[in-house]
Amino acid sequence: MRFSFFFALMIIVVWLWFGTIALVAADIGTATSYDPPYLPTRCKGYNEDQFPPGGYFIAVSEGIWDNGAACGRKYRMRCISGLKRPCKDPTIVVQVVDLCTLNPCPSTLLLSNKAFNAISKVPITKINVEFAQ
């Protein structure tokens, strides 16, 4: 009886340990905001239906673009640091609608103004973010 209790306890501990590791697996990158006009995009051109309700969308750098396969992907993200302590607490979900057209791209992710303002108190800055698909 005592052996089965400890065995069950070990299974629970291992399950919690690996479950916690899976929950915190994310990428780290930088984010800036970008201004309208947001059309046309490399994903769906002039189609306004591509933008998610709420206006939380992003353009991504080449490293995430994946030859256009990133179109429509959703990422959960949050601000983790930056100059002047810009981070707000919420985690937001953003959707890829475009490729960064600037050369070089100023950050890993370019957020719509609405998405950027949801996670940063400082409107024009570069922040460090954590993001996961």
Based on the structure, what is the number of domains in the chain?
A: 1
Q: What is the pLDDT of residues 48-76, one digit of tens each?
A: 999 999 999 999 999 999 999 999 999 99
Task: Pull the structure tokens for residue 60.
Answer: 């991504």
Question: Which CATH number belongs to the domain containing residue 94 in this structure?
Answer: 2.40.40.10
pLDDT tens profile 66-119: 999 999 999 999 999 999 999 998 999 999 999 999 999 999 999 999 999 999
Q: Token digits for 74?
A: 């959703």
Classify 122 in phi/psi space as left (phi over 0), alpha (psi -120 to 50) or beta.
beta
Range of the domain at 101: 26-132
Q: With respect to residue 12, please indicate whether it lies within any of the assigned structural domains.
A: no
The pLDDT assigned to 25 comes to: 80
In a domain, 11, yes or no: no
Q: State both tokens at 40.
A: 């046309």
| Domain assignment present for 17 | no
Q: Does residue 15 form part of some domain?
A: no
Instruction: Judge whether 59 lies within some domain.
Output: yes
CA angle 19, 21, 27 (to 5 degrees): 130
Whether 100 maps to a domain, the answer reads yes
